[in-house]
Amino acid sequence: MSQMALHTLVGTALTDPRFCHDLLNGRRHTLLADFDLTDEEREVVLAIQAESIREYAIQLNEWLNQKSPISHPNTAVAMPYLSLRSPAWSTFR
């Protein structure tokens, strides 16, 4: 799984307004050519319906958590991959 590519995708959307606009408004397929995604990741990235990068990142994160939760080395409890529900994310609407 190319989770780094998914992080880069969201990070680029957070820092590049044009990229973010295109990601959320129909040009997503064209943008994905620059990212090393598996077929499954590509399907998920294309299927997400969101009006903001925050919503997009939350949905992507939820899929990642279902796909491969990271476990803390000292416990059997799954740790969230990212915490996108924090108040800090409310600025990215």
Q: What is the mean pLDDT of the chain?
A: 78
Helices (H), the chain: 3-15, 17-24, 28-31, 39-47, 53-67
> What confidence tier does 76 reach under pLDDT thresholds 50, 70, 90?
very low
Domain span at residue 75 reads: 3-91
For the stretch 9-47, pLDDT in tens is: 999 999 999 999 999 998 898 999 889 999 999 999 999
Instruction: Give the pLDDT mean for 71-83.
Output: 42
Query: Measuring CA to CA, how many Å separate 72 from each of 2, 64, 86?
Result: 20, 16, 20
* Total number of domains in the chain: 1
Evaluated on CA atoms 36, 38, 43, 44, the torsion sign reads negative
pTM of full prediction above 0.75:
no
pLDDT confidence of residue 12: 94
Query: Measuring CA to CA, how many Å separate 88 from each of 63, 84, 92?
Result: 21, 8, 8
